[in-house]
Amino acid sequence: MPSQILPFSYLPPPKSPPLAKQAMYKPLIYDDYPSTTTTTVKPLLSRASTFNASALATNCGGGLTAWYHNKRRRSNSDNNCLSALPDRTNGTDGGDNGQQTIAQEVTHAAAETFLLTRLCLKLLSYLGVGYRWITRFMALGCYAFLLMPGFVQVGYYYFFSPYVRRSIVYGDQPRNRLDLYLPKNSDGPKPVVAFVTGGAWIIGYKAWGSLLGQQLSERDIIVACIDYRNFPQGSISDMVKDASCGISYICNHIAEYGGDPNRIYLMGQSAGAHIAACTLVDQVVKESGEGDSVSWSSSQINAYFGLSGGYNLLSLVDHFHSRGLYRSIFLSIMEGEESLSQFSPELVVQNPNLKHIIARLPPIILFHGTADYSIPSDASKSFAETLQRFGGKAEVILYEGKTHTDLFLQDPMRGGVDEMFEDIVSVVLGGDSEVVGKSVARRRLVPEFMLKLAHWVSPF
């Protein structure tokens, strides 16, 4: 759908004196483990949905400003993300040659299964057995059954492909692992997409990105899927910290796997898009302070891709409640109602004391389906409008009639040419017009009638 990007004008604010910083509020929730120049911006893509940005009178509240003044008093400990790593983890959980024995594989799988089962049981104690959740779980079961032919094929690739390096340790927490999807062609350094998976902040897992990893690696792009602690094992600040540690590992170690550290892109889907955006914004806030120690730089990120994400939690909390993510649970995940603003990237960039950070942000490209009922496409529109209004480089691509899962699951399983996938490739490989021009028609993984039924029964 052809469109254009809105030009913007940006007047750099005067430099403000150094501010103070302190740690984010983090309650103990189920901690089971120790612990005047006018600039016209070219569109980043050839087509993007645009809107007439009206001046939004969004009130960030004094709490966010006070939080920022206090937040910068703490000293950043992100360097621990690297110091806790084993030497030369080259494939799975470690070892001299990076290859695990069958016993180690089974032990790791059993530990992961036990962990996920334990967390699910705790989660069920939160959710109870209400009618809404029973019907959603039933719909989820039907949805997974209909897509099972595709899941089996992708699962086989995930577990048996020699080009997938699973469970590389990047930090010292139980979920601090990532998967790498490597291209078959190893001539020269490859661009890298660091991907944060979705899962309603509750069921996120690194393997959810295996279909995307397989797709992009076939186009000579390395994909790193970052795992992170979910609720109730951790709250939002734990998720942001884990994502930051994972990005740090990628920026500092991806060259060992054939990646180009100068061509790294950050991407997130659904809740992962929110976590990745929070991580990116938090990073530029750290970089704007004095005395902060950082283990990676926002300048290393060439662009941010947000797929079906939400970036203003204050405007979404009631919507999530109506969809079954109850307000009490959501506020527990987000560390209380008073923390919603500080974990809303759209609101943080509007803070008068933080407007200078927008210049540090990489280009931001947001993808969203117009039929997405889990997180309405207005969430991406509003975030892009806000960034444009304050001088940021942002655009939105809307896909007519696509739901929350169509873009990420059903469309790739349908085979042929994937529209959103080609949009991502055109940015990542934008300098290679010959490669970009070669659209790859992938084989079908699931019959069409099953995909249509999955679209109809999807609880998302």
The partner residues of 192 in beta bridges, in order of sequence, read 222, 264
Dist. CA 117–CA 140, nearest whole Å: 17
Tokens of residue 197, six digits? 């998976």
CB atoms within 10 A of CB 161: 17
**Closest C-alpha among 389, 340, 387 to residue 67:** 340
Tokens of residue 408, six digits? 């990420």
Tokens of residue 344, six digits? 């809303």
Dist. CA 350–CA 341, nearest whole Å: 11
Task: Determine contact, residues 316/379, Cβ cutoff 8 Å.
Answer: yes
Tokens of residue 399, six digits? 């896909």
Residue with tokens 């809404």: 132
Tokens of residue 138, six digits? 């039933």
> Would you list the DSSP string of 411-436?
HHHH-B--HHHHHHHHHHTTT-HHHH
* Helix (H/G/I), strand (E/B), else coil: 272: helix
CB atoms within 10 A of CB 361: 23
Sheet holding 364-369, edge to edge: 164-169, 177-181, 222-226, 190-196, 259-269, 301-307, 364-369, 394-399
For the chain, give the number of residues: 460
CB atoms within 10 A of CB 38: 9
Dist. CA 108–CA 159, nearest whole Å: 13
The partner residues of 71 in beta bridges, in order of sequence, read 21
User: Which residues are catalytic, by number?
Assistant: 270, 372, 404
Task: Determine contact, residues 51/366, Cβ cutoff 8 Å.
Answer: no
Dist. CA 227–CA 448, nearest whole Å: 31
Tokens of residue 312, six digits? 């203003």
Sign of CA dihedral 97, 100, 101, 103: positive
Residue with tokens 């609880």: 459
CA distances from residue 109 to 105, 229, 314 in whole angstroms, order as listed: 6, 17, 38
Task: Determine contact, residues 94/86, Cβ cutoff 8 Å.
Answer: yes
